Amino acid sequence: MVGLLVCGAAFGGPGQSASKEWKALCGKNIPLGLDEDRIDQMLGQCRKNGLSSQEADALLRPAYAARDEALPVDSIFIKIEEGLAKHVDAAQVAEAAEARLDCLRKARHLIDGQHPGRGGEGPPHLLTYTCMALESGLPEEVLQEVFKRQGGRRYGRLVHILEAGETLQLAGLDPRNTQQIMNDCIDRNLNRLEILRAVDYVLAEQRKGRDFKAIHADLWVRSD
């Protein structure tokens, strides 16, 4: 009821013939499990961008799919919010949201592969971090190797290693070199601060134009 009142406050008022459709759409989105004010603001942005309620509903289909598949809805919603805020064409926003949904599905498959039938054990954000690493362009094969190398050790540290992989990949590192750094972080049992220092060093040396082989050799000489 509170959510419907919020919707009414945003989309009600005289002279708004389509307000009922927007109120219905707002109510439809409450089961997504997100804050009602946030949903309200996002739909308001859709209207500002000139979208109809039907177009806004279509834009949210990946979020509905994520809810139905027990995937992180917030991850999809953020992608939509970002696109709307930048006034990106709705078709491109929808495509980006679908791409993130696909990455979430692949991420769950990778995690489930380590514990078949047990729902992908790990901390709550492991799925999201795996998704972001995939979205950065890291091949699934690299992440499969990282998960295997992690083995039965605690997954809490793995989220930091995945974050490092995403950062290195976005910086243009070859996926094989990114995998080498991620493997090293696991083998050396590095904590979050040590992982961040390693990534910072690699990126700083890369900007100097140094070869990865030389960077890698010096990285562990410095740390040891």
Domain residues of the chain, as ranges?
34-117, 122-224
Q: What are the tokens at 102?
A: 């696909």
Which amino acid is present at 113? Answer: G
161/115: higher pLDDT: 161
Proportion of the chain in helix, strand, coil states, percent, rounded to 5: 75, 0, 25
Q: Which of 191, 197, 202 is nearest to 169 (CA)?
A: 202
For 98-137, how does the pLDDT look when each residue is reduced to its tens digit (9 = 90+)?
999 999 999 999 988 775 554 445 556 889 999 999 999 9
pLDDT of residue 14: 44
Name residues whose C-beta falls within 8 Å of residue 74's C-beta, 6 or more positions apart in sequence: 34
- At residue 35, the pLDDT reads 82
Nearest to 183 by CA among 134, 137, 220, 136: 220
H helices of 30-136, where?
36-48, 53-59, 61-68, 73-85, 90-112, 126-135
The residues near 11 (Cβ < 8 Å, ≥ 6 apart) are 19, 22, 23, 26, 43, 47
Task: Provide the 10 A C-beta neighbour count for residue 55.
Answer: 15
Sign of the dihedral through C-alpha 138, 141, 146, 151: positive
For residues 10-38, average pLDDT: 69
User: What does R_g of the chain's alpha carbons equal in angstroms?
Assistant: 21
* Res 190 pLDDT > 80: yes
Q: Which of the four pLDDT bands, split at 50, 70 and 90, describes residue 15?
A: very low
pLDDT at site 124: 63
Taking alpha carbons only, the member of 66, 135, 144 closest to residue 109 is: 144
Query: Which of 37 and 138 is assigned the larger pLDDT?
Result: 138
Tokens of 72: 């992180």
Main-chain phi, psi angles of 15, to 5 degrees? 80, 5
**Cα separation, 196 vs 219, whole angstroms:** 12
Give the model's pLDDT for residue 13.
46
CA distances from 221 to 112, 214, 218 (A): 36, 11, 5
Contact by Cβ (8 Å): 91, 127? no
| Average pLDDT along the chain | 85
Give residue 108's identity as a one-letter amino acid code.
R
